[in-house]
Amino acid sequence: MRRKATAAQAEQPIHYVVWEALPGGMESYITYYTEHLQERRPVYIYSLRPSGNHLNPRLNGHFAEGSKNNWVCYTGFFRYARRYRRDLFHLVNSGPIVLLLALLAGVRRPVYHIHGTKHWKGWKDWLYLKAAWLLISRFRVRYVANSHHSAAVFTREVLPVRPLVVYNGFHLSRFLQYRHRRTRLRRMAFVGRLAPDKNAHLVIRLFEEIAAQMPEVELHIAGTGALEAQLREQARQSPFARRIAFYGWIEDVARFYAEADLFVFLSAHESFGNVVAEGLLTGLPVLTSDVPVFEEIHGDVATFCLGSPDNYEHVRQRFLAAVADFPTLAQKAYDAAERLQRLFDLRTHLHDIEQLYHECD
């Protein structure tokens, strides 16, 4: 991990800190960051837990990892941060303990990327994590959020700061190449983790609401997770079981969106919701829960929002009304892609992050 310093290096090296160097969620953006920057400044990845480097194998040794043992993990990171304390650190949702260790090791003005709206699980977590955040508040940290919603939650619940909002960016061509206006509802879809907070079981119920009257409609579910077996059993017991398909993890999600006619996503909470933006970029009509960040994405509550998943009857009525006027829903989804191209271009995302680094240099 020795860094070769030269006089030509005018910009600080950057160390990206994650719990595991595995693709998925915000960690995937480290691949984009390192590929974008590695010709102009040294870039490193530090995985707090041993995982191997699956984010950018071309870093030529600029990778280190910690331990499964908590004590070894934290002390090892402290030594690492102390060694490179004059460099720039970008911590991706690593939590306040890791951020505090970096600050105590002497790292100046680290960048902390907020990705999520659940900052503790219960009062015991709140006690020690809130104490850590209060200690952190005595230092200078640059906070970045991926939506105004996640920024507002952090400000309200964690620290009274104003994070910089940088929306997640996408390779637009990957999705826009499939953009088309849907004309008929035949393939209803769900894409996401099969976890309790995603409410995929409600999507199956909504499909059953229209299946008898619309015998050509099928439900296609992509994703894996803890509830997969339970959801498969729910589908097996459905009177329309033969029209419900599970795909597991899919590599070409853009094509999956392109082949669908309606995407229903009733997540209980999200800091952003990549799948909503991705689907709309292909022109796919998306019906969502009332998580505030979804309004930031689709921009039209009256058209795309079904309401709270806790009120199934209200969601059901909104869903049936949307399906009954499918041509209008499809046209508005197709039109939404124009707006999303301006908001979620990966080039804009990388420019804003790099500009933040320049301010920290």
d(CA 143, CA 152): 12
* Residue 73 belongs to some domain of the structure: yes
Q: pLDDT tens-digit profile of 279-327?
A: 999 999 999 999 988 988 998 888 999 999 999 999 999 999 999 999 9
Separation between Cα atoms, residue 297 and residue 278, nearest integer Å: 10
pLDDT digits 0-9 by tens, 256-287: 999 999 999 999 988 788 899 999 999 999 99
**pLDDT tens for residues 66-100?**
999 999 999 999 999 999 999 999 999 899 999 99
Residue 7 in any domain: the answer is no
pTM of whole model > 0.75?
A: yes
pLDDT, position 309: 97
pLDDT at residue 115 greater than cutoff 80: no
Q: What is the CATH number of the domain that holds 120?
A: 3.40.50.2000
In terms of domains, do 23 and 164 share one? yes
Helix or strand (DSSP H, E) at 319: helix 312-324
Q: Which own/partner contact pairs does 80-83 have at CB distance under 8 Å and 24+ positions apart?
A: 80/46, 81/105, 81/106, 81/107, 82/106
DSSP 165: E
**What is the CB-side half-sphere exposure of residue 133 using CA atoms within 13 A?**
20
Residue 44 sits in the same domain as residue 102: yes
Sheet containing 187-191, strands listed edge to edge, beginning at the edge strand earlier in sequence: 244-248, 218-222, 187-191, 262-265, 286-289, 305-307
Extract the tokens encoding 224. Answer: 């894996």
Q: What is the total count of domains within the chain? A: 2
Residue 227 belongs to what domain range? 172-343
What is the Cα–Cα distance from 273 to 294, expressed in whole angstroms? 7
C-alpha to C-alpha distance for 273 and 263, rounded to whole angstroms: 13
